[in-house]
Amino acid sequence: MGNRISVKEVEKGEKVILHVSERPRFGTIESKILKLNKVPIVRNLRVVKKILCKIYGIPLSSHFSNEFSLLRPILRVGENTGLNDTLITGCGLIRIGANCSFSHRNMIVSSVHNIDDFDKITLKPVTIGNNVWVTSNITILGGVTIGDNTIIGAGSVVTKDIPSGVFAAGNPCKVIREIDFVK
């Protein structure tokens, strides 16, 4: 078993391999607050959102629904980002830019078990640029970068980098066409 990994090492955005016992822990406080987020009366008080935002460094200008879920992420989120009912899982760094929109039932996975040694986990950072629309039922896997001003079509599985200013879709996700945003 190697040394415990620090958040600063993961924040560098490099591919990291660690032993299962070294992965960052998800505390009981965080899991209880996520459960409170599902209770409409409590959620309407906005106290739960403020606490979750503070714990995970999510700006208060961002939005997430009662189905939003986090499992051990190291998360960096930009202003005015709507995460809705996205599941964010894995121990790797996940960066999401400003003004992004996640529709329904999306998943971001930033770590995988090694198939030769299940006790080892490979952390692969995920970077999502600014002004990205992730539509519905999308899975974004570790090691992926999605460029600015991009739309990911429904049902896609993003396994490789997607450039800026495109519409991409499919399984595996690939560029369908360029988008010219008129401002």
**Distance separating alpha carbons of residues 36 and 129, to the nearest angstrom:** 30
Known catalytic residues are 113
**Distance separating alpha carbons of residues 124 and 107, to the nearest angstrom:** 15
**Distance separating alpha carbons of residues 20 and 37, to the nearest angstrom:** 28
**Residue that is written with structure tokens 């595996």 in the block:** 172
Cβ neighbours for 148, distance < 8 A, ≥ 6 positions apart: 97, 129, 130, 131, 132, 164, 165
β-strands 166-169, 151-152 pairing? parallel
Residue 76, token pair as written in the block: 């960096």
**Residue that is written with structure tokens 């008080």 in the block:** 45
Q: What residues does 18 pair with on adjacent strands?
A: 121
